[in-house]
Structure 1
Amino acid sequence: MSDTGRAGGVLAATCLSTLVVNANTSAVSILLPAISEDTGMSVNDLQWAVTGYSLVGAAVIITSGSLGDVFGRKRVFQLGLLLFVLSCVLIALAETGGMVIAGRVIQGAAGSTILACGLSLLSVATSGDQQLKFVSLWGAAAAVGAAAGPLLGGVLVGITGWQGLFWIDAGVALVCMALTYVTIQESRDPDRPRSIDYLGTVLIAATLVPLIYGFTKSGDWGWVDARTLGCFAASIVFGFLFVTVEKRVAVPLLDLALLRNRILVGSTLAILIGAGTINGLMYLLSLYFQDPAALDFSPLQAGVATLPATVGLVVVAPFVPKLAHKLGGRQVIGIGFIAMAVGFVAIGFTQSSWAYATFLLPILAIAVGMGLSNGPASSAATASVPQEQVGGASGVSNMARYVGAAVATALCATIYATVQANQLDDGASAPDALASGLAAAAWLMAVISALGILLAVVAIRRHKAATGTTQDAAASAAAVVHTIPTSASGAAS
């Protein structure tokens, strides 16, 4: 096969795989009511299908890249695709909610592996202008997948049932495996030590599991119950052990020295907040719009109704780098979080009488705010470190996305269900109870978004902004799911 044909095959395999992974991820919230109806598991318990995915993704995203560097990027990428296929089949055949959750946990490991190794394969297989072009296309595919997922899920529920999404995704992943086998050459990093921080990976998961479980069960147990406090205490202990291990291993999962970089820490927290709030919003709206006591939308209608939250930020994002270059990254990040906070405050006044049109402007404000804040925050993360630390900074920010999604979704699910149950116990009608639950969760997201404003002011100091190239536009659009290099990356060299 010619070099041109081989490069095209690498592009096709990596872009198609990232598109299907991100579409799958963003579609699942739309499917939860249908899965709940078929399996008999409550939607509140099924939130683990979302948080479990993000939790495992956070633990694996950096390790999978290290595995590719040591054992072969093609091999590990193929393993990720195989796990993705198996998880899709397991979910599609599931008769219980527990099987769905188990499949999604496996899918979290598969998805993060596909994203991390796919981008590495694309970068290694190309160079110069071709590399910039192909990485930009990969970023565009990631953004399109994330935006199209809810609509695709809504369409398929009506045609094939919720299982159809996973059967189709399994088929697409098999095509990617065939393309990878034929077109991609194996590559490794011969200079990288063969040591891999497996213990750090386990401790990341061990830190997050009790934290999220404590959030989830706090509504039933109470926030000051011994079991809730025990979960939080366990999370703190495992977090301390993680830091201790990272100080001692030869090649740590997380270079703790990076945490002394104030701009990197601030931008990473901004990414965590952005990813958390947008995932929490999608989870809440998907349930509220489909609930018979609220808007009673079909899955397709709900998919269309949530499009402004996904398409809006993708449409805005490509224009953000030039705006950040003109005004300054921290200013644009701050404006973005202001818009998000305003949107969440508006949803915080939700009434059971609201029609969909009342939600539209707040959703658009949140989407535009996310588009404004997320791209410059991702760019700042990689611009604030020397070139040799860009990979580490990207890994930290990518882990933050998964952590934010897991924690915020768990918090939103808990508040939504707890307030709803309390309102019903107090004699409120089902529509009023649902509206109160959504409003309470939205107020929490408003407070978290306001913390993003504070971060922009205090932590994200002056740094080199991306200049607004095509690659920068693609990186900004993809930043909702993954950090890719920009024209400002490594500027602190």
Structure 2
Amino acid sequence: MSDVAQVSTRAGGVLAATCISTLVVNANTSAVSILLPAISEDTGTSVETLQWAVTGYSLVGAAVIVTSGSLGDVFGRKRVFQLGLVLFVASCVMIALAGSGGMVIAGRVIQGAAGATILACGLSLLSVANEGQAQLRAVSLWGAAAAVGAAAGPLLGGVLVDLTGWQGLFWIDAGVAVLCMLLTMVTVSESRDEQRPRTIDYAGTILIAVTLTPLILGVTKSGDWGWLSAATIGCFALSVAAGYGFIAVERRVAVPLLDLALLRNRVLVGSTIAILIGAGTINGLMYLLSLYFQDPASLDFSPLEAGLATLPATVGLVVVAPLVPRLAAKLGGRQTIGAGFALTTVGFVMVGFVDAAWAYRAFLLPLVAIAVGMGMSNGPASSAATASVPENQVGGASGVSNMARYVGAAVATALAATIYGTVIGNQTEDGAAQGDALAAGLAAASWTMAVFSFLGVLMALVIARHRAAAGTLEDAAAAAAAHTHTLPTSATAGRSRDTRP
């Protein structure tokens, strides 16, 4: 075989290993909410407690997403990518064999670290294995795989619960991850960033987790403890102290997890907050609808029916997003972001009027509005994040926005779950029928997410004028993946190829 053929074959193997792994990781991530009622029934653990299987995953992912990329740069991207796959397989087996909710949650926490590592190092491996247009095509396919996985996850989870039990998803994912390990072993060459300092910001990683854990615990338990209780205030105080410690550490380390100088960039800060709001509200919505649709006192859907019911939101988001870059190029990025959040706000307001008599068809229009709005805001916000900085800061800007997705998903899901559960409990104590209590809980959480979405409209006004993506095929793929990962677009400074998080 010629050298050119060998290089082409090897690049194809890297593409296959990274695209399949990111598809599996994103499908797994988005499927879990659909599985929670079945896991609760099998393990005897309340859905309220199992919420940590969702928020714990995002919490650890926020702490690890940047660090895992740094570990790959220093110790070898292939080695760290393989470690992520090993952890993913181990966590899948652990969850599939779990006899308790605590074991499921522990497995999902490990899976959060594994998933973030696979995404961060997989994208780096793909970038260094290709050059020029081949790299753009490869990264675009990776983005498309991420988007398809996220959209297909709830439906796949619903199908597997009916066919194999909820454990089937994790056994299948473990098997696919093992195949990716073998493919990586054969086709992927090791690579490092020889110019990068060898230091890793481990303290920053730990402090991110210490900041988020008491924050989410305080939000989650506030319904039981009270918002002004000593325990709740103590959690928030610990979170603030850890956040302050994180800032202090980042000012002193040689290679910080977060370059604080980036926070002086108004476009980057605005787009990052927009990304956080978007990720938070869509994850909170999917979590609540997965529970509401399956509850016997509301629609009483099977897991498969619930997965099908969420398709207007998941598939709609992916279908609309690739069309947005051309719209943003004509109207302007911040105008498109603002319009998207306005439409999302309207969708959440509509769900805020839900009552127990609503049939599924009443949810269709607001779900479509939310999906279209999210599609309009996600892509331009991600594009703005990488377009607003010099070429040598693109990787850092991408890391900030990717971390924001995990933070938004963790905090907003915890907040939505707390509001939902608290209102249901209060309504039930007041003698309301269970169906009415569930609808009241969903309505209250939806109004809260409508407020956050409206803040996204205001945030769009803060974002200054910036370069917009031209609307190329690569821009469309980046926009489709934008609700899971930030990829550089044609607007990125210098057409940078640095796609590391």
Return the offset for 1:492.
Answer: 11
Identity of aligned residues (%): 78
Rounded to whole Å, the distance in 1 between the matches of 2:282 and 2:182 is 34
Rounded to whole Å, the distance in 2 between the matches of 1:66 and 1:489 is 21
Rounded to whole Å, the distance in 2 between the matches of 1:491 and 1:184 is 28
Which residue identity lines up with residue 36 of structure 1 in the other structure?
S
Partner of 1:230: 234
SS of the residue corresponding to residue 488 of structure 1 reads coil
Partner of 1:383: 387
Partner of 1:154: 158
Q: Quick check: 1:383–1:491 contact (8 Å CA) kept in 2?
A: no
Rounded to whole Å, the distance in 2 between the matches of 1:197 and 1:220 is 36
Question: Which of 54, 60, 71 matches 1:56?
Answer: 60
1:46 equivalenced with 2:50 (yes/no): yes
Partner of 1:208: 212
When the two chains are superposed, the root-mean-square deviation of aligned CA atoms in Å is 0.9
Give the TM-score normalised by the residue count of structure 2. 0.98
Rounded to whole Å, the distance in 2 between the matches of 1:429 and 1:296 is 15
Superposition map of 1:68-467 within 5 A: 68-458=72-462, 460-467=463-470
**Count of residues paired in the alignment:** 492
Deviations 1:259-313 (A, max 9, x none): 0000000000000000000000000000000000000000000000001111001
Which residue identity lines up with residue 261 of structure 1 in the other structure?
N
Rounded to whole Å, the distance in 2 between the matches of 1:367 and 1:107 is 27
Q: Quick check: 1:464–1:491 contact (8 Å CA) kept in 2?
A: no
Deviations 1:389-423 (A, max 9, x none): 00000000000000000000000100000000000
Rounded to whole Å, the distance in 2 between the matches of 1:457 and 1:136 is 29
Partner of 2:474: 471
1:486 equivalenced with 2:479 (yes/no): no
SS of the residue corresponding to residue 389 of structure 2 reads coil
Q: Quick check: 1:132–1:471 contact (8 Å CA) kept in 2?
A: yes
Q: Quick check: 2:73–2:196 contact (8 Å CA) kept in 1?
A: yes
Deviations 1:1-49 (A, max 9, x none): 7111101100000000000000000000000000000001110110000
Q: Quick check: 1:385–1:492 contact (8 Å CA) kept in 2?
A: no
Which residue identity lines up with residue 172 of structure 1 in the other structure?
V
Rounded to whole Å, the distance in 2 between the matches of 1:313 and 1:328 is 20
Which residue identity lines up with residue 306 of structure 1 in the other structure?
T
Q: Quick check: 1:20–1:145 contact (8 Å CA) kept in 2?
A: yes
SS of the residue corresponding to residue 366 of structure 1 reads helix
SS of the residue corresponding to residue 190 of structure 1 reads coil
Rounded to whole Å, the distance in 1 between the matches of 2:232 and 2:135 is 49
Rounded to whole Å, the distance in 2 between the matches of 1:483 and 1:68 is 18
Rounded to whole Å, the distance in 1 between the matches of 2:314 and 2:320 is 10
Q: Quick check: 2:489–2:495 contact (8 Å CA) kept in 1?
A: no
Deviations 1:152-205 (A, max 9, x none): 000000000000000000000000000000000000000000000000000000
Rounded to whole Å, the distance in 2 between the matches of 1:392 and 1:132 is 19
Rounded to whole Å, the distance in 2 between the matches of 1:237 and 1:378 is 30
Partner of 2:499: none
Which residue identity lines up with residue 417 of structure 1 in the other structure?
G
Return the offset for 1:491.
Answer: 5.7
SS of the residue corresponding to residue 356 of structure 2 reads coil
Return the offset for 1:490.
Answer: 1.8
SS of the residue corresponding to residue 248 of structure 1 reads coil
Which residue identity lines up with residue 454 of structure 1 in the other structure?
L
Deviations 1:118-149 (A, max 9, x none): 00000000001111111100000000000000
Deviations 1:81-104 (A, max 9, x none): 000000000000000000000000
Q: Quick check: 2:210–2:242 contact (8 Å CA) kept in 1?
A: yes
Return the offset for 1:470.
Answer: 1.0
Return the offset for 1:361.
Answer: 0.4
Partner of 1:32: 36
Give the TM-score normalised by the residue count of structure 1. 0.99
Q: Quick check: 1:386–1:492 contact (8 Å CA) kept in 2?
A: no
Rounded to whole Å, the distance in 1 between the matches of 2:494 and 2:456 is 24
Which residue identity lines up with residue 463 of structure 1 in the other structure?
H
| Structure 2 unaligned spans of 5+ | 497-501
SS of the residue corresponding to residue 47 of structure 1 reads helix
Return the offset for 1:60.
Answer: 0.1
Which residue identity lines up with residue 359 of structure 1 in the other structure?
F
Rounded to whole Å, the distance in 2 between the matches of 1:402 and 1:461 is 25
SS of the residue corresponding to residue 493 of structure 2 reads coil
Rounded to whole Å, the distance in 1 between the matches of 2:178 and 2:443 is 42
Rounded to whole Å, the distance in 2 between the matches of 1:491 and 1:188 is 23
SS of the residue corresponding to residue 251 of structure 2 reads helix
Q: Quick check: 1:384–1:492 contact (8 Å CA) kept in 2?
A: no
Return the offset for 1:78.
Answer: 0.1
Q: Quick check: 1:384–1:491 contact (8 Å CA) kept in 2?
A: no
Q: Quick check: 1:196–1:251 contact (8 Å CA) kept in 2?
A: yes
Which residue identity lines up with residue 145 of structure 1 in the other structure?
G
Which residue identity lines up with residue 372 of structure 1 in the other structure?
M
